[in-house]
Structure 1
Amino acid sequence: MDEEEASMEAAESSSMDVAPALIALHPLETYVAVAVGSELRLFDLQEKHSVSLSDNTGGPSHSDAIRAICFGAKGRLFVSAGDDKLVKLWATDSWHCVRTICSEKRVTAVSISHDGQFVTYADKFGVVWIMDLDEDGNSEAVADKKAIPLLGHYCSIITSLEISPDGRFIVSADRDFKIRITMFPGKPLKLAHEIQSFCLGHTDFVSCLSFVCSPDYSEGFLLSGSGDATVRLWDYKSGCLLDTCEVGEKAGFVDSKEIEKEVSPVVTNIHAFPDGSLVAVAIQSLNGVMLLKCEFSTKTLYFLKTVYMEGSFIPTSLGLSPSAKQLWVVMGASNLPSPGSTQLLARVRVISGLDHFVLKPHGCDPIILEDEDVPGGEDLLRKLQGSLDASKEEVTLAATASALKASMHNLLIKKQYSAEKRELRKRSRNDRKQKQ
């Protein structure tokens, strides 16, 4: 790479380096995981102690921002992936890394099939890859196997991957406003995939997806959030739009005609109780969480309440605890260490009382727990958050929110290049170099 190419690549990567902190809860609520930068922080909620990760596979460790984490449906596997082009699978019974997959491009989204047999991940070129595993993710059984492409979005960054409640469909969303519903074949390594439908209607990039279902609607509906400041409800099998909730308007960021310039009402995360009784929504400029409800009988979404937090706390990721009816919230960013420290900052909050709120939304407000009342207490917060001088917290969190806003814009808004720069980018493409 010549000096001109190197400087161009450095400039582009620096504008996109800031990644949001992420949070995920084990399906049985055994563990809570936070990813910030290249760090994975874990806490055992049952044994009340922090968890150490180990990797004896010989593969590289995460060295750049982690962009996606998730637990498998059965909780036996956990996957992390990101800008270092690594997808790492962890066995949750021992927290040993059992497999490291090297991607050709940076990874933007991951998912694990409900039976734990396959891990899928999406890269920045718009390709979804799949790797088959044995039942426990055993690395020895798959050491000679490689991920293969499953489907593509034609050079559009894929922002979210989800598998339907019945395991029959894989849903992928991208920055070009599209949501694609694809049949998940019984033998995905041998059978061609089939497109079921497209969910089209968003007017800006689609940022996040979540499923809701009920005993009467076992196949469920699909929820999507977007840069157009809406959350939409879909019959994903037919691609039919059922309802739209203007969350930007509900938050006061959008008037009847246009979006105010100084705020960014991008929906950054959606997390729903499986029965749809509560849908939590994070919005990029909102210092709190918006709560919606999915009404299955009428196939509608409606606004319940906004739970506000301190002015500088703008959630970057959400995790729901169905049994305890608690919402876990994290704020943080990569490459923004605490002042006077090399440790990356994250802040965790827990909202409780959601079970009473669902039953009496106009009589019982959700409660933001004090630090000492958070499950796991101060030990959990020390592990997941990092240390920060209280007097500097407000300024640091405000800087975090500002950096993440710019980062989201750089990641998901298409760039415009001059003719000269386009030619330079073509010459530096990896596939062109390999041919030469």
Structure 2
Amino acid sequence: MEDTAVEEAEVSGAAEFAPALIAAHPFGHSVAVAVGPDLRVFDLHGGCAVSLSDDSGGCAHSDAIRAITFGAGGALFASAGDDKLVKVWKTGSWRCVRTITSEKRVSAVAFSNDGLYVTFADKFGVVWLVTVGGDAEGQVSADSKPVSIFGHYCSIITSMKFSSDGRFIATADRDFKIRVTSFPKNPMKGATEIQSFCLGHTEFVSCIAFTRNSGGSSFLLSGGGDSTVRLWDHINGCLLDTYDVRDKLGELSEPNETEDSNLAIADICLANDDSLVDVAIQSLNGMMLLACDLIAKKLSFLKVVRTEKSYIPTSLSTSVGPDDHLWSVMGASNMPNQSVSQLLTRVRIVPRFQKDAQGSADHDSAALDDAEVPHGEKLLLALQGSLDASKQEEVLSAVLAALKVSMHKMLVKKNYSEERREQRKRGRNDKKIKK
């Protein structure tokens, strides 16, 4: 029965939904949204949409983008996805200066803190590394080839992040585990020293985030399909605290509001000097805010920032600075009968949380109305896309229905009958390595 249900979901195409992604420049210079193969960038300083150009000689993205990220200094940006391409962009000009071809579809991407390397993970759980920079002007290398540095043994890597001090690279997968690896001085020779495994999630791990160094130490946060946000001492692999979002949502929800809903954690991000954890939950119309006490090593509930019922964020991001905002996006691609012109997203922004005299966050913050959004209609049109107004609600309603079930179908490990496994082996079309 279980095999049949999984196989039917796979055939229907539901497992292939690609959630929209958002990334804010670390210093608030720009914000990028990816939906399907479409990458949209808005210049927050110039107040205008960015025209992307490609100097790498490679192809534009032709399939769903699954990962986007800015480098630690904001000079570089990477996008990668199902077309097996990793594209490196210089954010000063928004020119693509390097296109890297992967052997498999790419599920995660990250820059080393010094900007010298980009790492990406493929659907077979292998982490690859490429040299992308090195000189004072940020010149990107065009001749280095990807080198595999470690792997997760055929488990899809869902998230990959470097620690704030650059010493470690953490990778999470759909088989419930987080691996913390020491990042070597010469990573082109591989990263073989495992610092720890953070084990405790009972379903797939969907997202991870490092805190910045605070008092000489940093910590790791994770979210997963078991509806928990967890705080880790990643040096020793020790679980410090766990917050189960189901407990609070059960109290806040109307009767039957969350019944039969998937409450997987879709994304997490840190704000207010890492004292706040913003959490996107798969069936929640809004975002949950948790207080993160790095001294007491505790997570606690603050509030839920509610949005309209048709809005469930798929990705979150924030930047550092006096005018930083919490950015969120809702959208999806690869849906049945969806055309490129229907790649509609919704962006919602929560202003920076102010602290009172006691140092506590202001609980009254709410998502901005469209009229209050910085740069207003220009920003919304650039990042959300345009569609006939009469069709917007229809498209977004379909996206909403898909998002409520898509993450589990993408990341829950599937069980197949022996016959079905043999059929899948015969139908594989993986790109073969040419000798």
TM-score, structure 2 length as denominator?
0.90
What corresponds to 1:94 in structure 2?
A: 93
Instruction: Tell me the CA shift for residue 357 of structure 1.
Output: 7.0
Query: 2:344 is paired with a residue of what secondary structure?
Result: strand
Give the match for residue 329 of structure 1. Answer: 328
Matched, 1:386 2:361: no
Q: 1:316 is aligned with what amino acid?
A: T
- CA–CA distance in structure 2, aligned partners of residues 282 and 306 of structure 1: 10
Per-residue CA deviations over 1:36-77 (Å, capped at 9, x if unaligned) read 110000000001011011113221110011000000001110
Cα shift at 1:387: 2.3
1:264-283 residue pairs with structure 2 within 5 A? 264-273=262-271, 275-283=273-281
Task: Give the AA of the match of 1:344.
Answer: L
Partner of 2:3: none
Secondary structure, in 3 states, of the residue corresponding to 1:375?
coil
In structure 2, the partner of 1:61 is 60
Distance 2:120 2:43 in 1: 26
User: How many angstroms does 1:250 deviate by?
Assistant: 1.5
Pairing 1:363-402 to 2, within 5 Å after superposition: 364-388=363-387, 393-402=392-401
Give the distance between the partners of 1:355 and 1:119, measured in 2 at CA: 35
Question: Partner letter of residue 245 of structure 1?
Answer: Y
Q: CA deviation at 1:403?
A: 1.4
Instruction: Give the residue type in structure 2 aligned to 1:223.
Output: L
Distance 1:318 1:412 in 2: 19
Give the C-alpha shift of residue 273 in structure 1.
2.2
2:275 aligned counterpart, secondary structure? coil
Q: Distance in 2 between matches of 1:297 and 1:182?
A: 25
CA positional deviation for 1:389: 5.0
Query: Cα deviation per residue 1:406-426 (whole Å; 9 max; x = unaligned)?
Result: 332222112222322212322
Kindly state the Cα deviation for residue 314 of structure 1 after the two structures are TM-superposed: 0.3
Provide closer, same or farther for how the CA distance between residues 57 and 12 of structure 1 changes in structure 2, counting only shifts above 3 A.
farther
- Shifted more, 224-233 versus 295-304: the winner is 295-304
8 Å CA contact 1:166, 1:219 repeated in 2: no
TM-score, normalization by structure 1: 0.89
Change in CA separation of 1:427 and 1:133 when aligned onto 2, cut-off 3 Å: same
Residue 14 of structure 1 aligns to which amino acid in structure 2?
G
Matches within 5 A, 1:34-433: 34-135=33-134, 138-139=139-140, 141-143=141-143, 145-190=144-189, 192-216=191-215, 218-252=216-250, 262-273=260-271, 275-323=273-321, 324-335=323-334, 342-356=341-355, 364-388=363-387, 393-429=392-428
* DSSP-derived class of the 2:171 partner: strand
Q: Residues 127 and 152 of structure 1 are in contact (CA less than 8 Å); yes or no, is this contact kept in structure 2?
A: yes
How far the C-alpha of 1:341 sits from its partner, in A, is: 8.0
2 CA distance for matches of 1:43 and 1:401? 25
CA distance in 2, matches of 1:260, 1:58: 49
Give, as a single letter, the amino acid of the residue that structure 2 aligns with 1:207: S
How many residues were matched structurally?
A: 422
Over 3 Å counting, the alpha-carbon distance change for 1:161 and 1:432 in structure 2 is closer
Partner of 2:187, secondary structure, is coil
How many Å apart are 1:336 and its aligned residue?
5.4
C-alpha deviation, 1:329, in angstroms: 1.1
Distance change (3 Å), C-alpha of 1:435 and 1:290 = same
Shift in CA distance, 137/214, structure 1 to aligned 2, threshold 3 Å: closer
Answer yes or no: is the 8 Å Cα contact 1:337–1:344 preserved in 2.
no
Question: Letter of the aligned partner of 1:142 in structure 2?
Answer: A
- d(CA) in 2 for partners of 1:50, 1:432: 36
Deviation at 1:428, TM superposition (A): 3.9
Q: Percent identity?
A: 56
* Pair 157,358 (structure 1): closer, same or farther in 2 beyond 3 Å: farther
Give the CA deviation at 1:359. Answer: 6.0
Deviations along 1:361-412, whole A, 9 cap, x unmatched? 5865003212122112110111000124556544433321221233322221
Question: How far off is 1:170 after superposition?
Answer: 0.3
Q: Which amino acid in the other structure matches residue 92 of structure 1?
A: T
Describe the shift of the 1:432–1:130 C-alpha distance in structure 2 as closer, same or farther (beyond 3 A): closer
Change (3 A) 1:117 1:268: same
* Alignment check: 8 A CA contact 1:357 1:365 kept: no
CA distance in 1, matches of 2:14, 2:425: 20
> Is the contact between residue 150 and residue 190 of structure 2 (CA under 8 Å) also seen in structure 1?
no
C-alpha separation between the residues in 2 aligned to 1:371 and 1:341? 24
Q: Which runs of no fewer than 5 residues in structure 1 stay unpaired?
A: 1-7
For 1:37 and 1:304, the matched residues in 2 are separated by 34
Please identify, of 413-422 and 96-105, the stretch whose mean Cα deviation from structure 2 is larger.
Answer: 413-422
Please state how far the C-alpha of 1:433 moved relative to its aligned partner: 7.0
| Counterpart residue identity of residue 201, structure 2 | H
One-letter identity of the residue aligned with 2:221: L
Q: Which amino acid aligns with 2:295?
A: S
| Structure 1 range deviating more: 154-163 or 315-324 | 315-324
Query: Which runs of no fewer than 5 residues in structure 2 stay unpaired?
Result: 1-6
Check conservation: 2:355, 2:361, Cα contact below 8 A.
no
Is the Cα–Cα contact under 8 Å of residues 336 and 345 in structure 1 kept in the other structure? Answer: no
Q: Deviations over 1:165-193 (max 9, x none)?
A: 10000000000000000000011012552
Decide whether aligned partners of structure 1 residues 310 and 394 sit closer, same or farther in structure 2, where only a CA change above 3 A counts.
farther
More displaced, 240-249 or 362-371?
362-371
Code of the residue aligned with 2:142 in structure 1: it is V
1:65-105 CA-partner distances (Å, limit 9, x unpaired): 10000000011100000111110000111111111111111
Contact 2:20 2:329 in 1 (8 A): yes
CA distance in 2 between counterparts of 1:27 and 1:251 reads 31
**3-state SS, counterpart of residue 249 of structure 1:** helix
Contact 2:303 2:363 in 1 (8 A): no
Pair 387,153 (structure 1): closer, same or farther in 2 beyond 3 Å: same
Match of 1:5 in 2: none
Instruction: Tell me the amino acid that sits aligned with residue 153 of structure 2.
Output: Y
CA–CA separation in structure 1 for the residues paired with 2:280 and 2:319: 16
Determine helix, strand or coil for the equivalent of 2:178: strand
1:199-243 CA-to-partner distances (Å, cap 9, x unmatched) read 000100000001123542x33110000000000000000000000
Q: Distance in 2 between matches of 1:80 and 1:434?
A: 23
Contact 1:319 1:328 in 2 (8 A): yes
- RMSD over aligned CA atoms reads 2.8
Q: CA deviation at 1:16?
A: 3.1
Aligned partners of 2:235 and 2:357: how far apart in 1? 28
Secondary structure in 2 aligned to 1:186? coil
CA contact (8 A) 2:353 2:362 kept: no
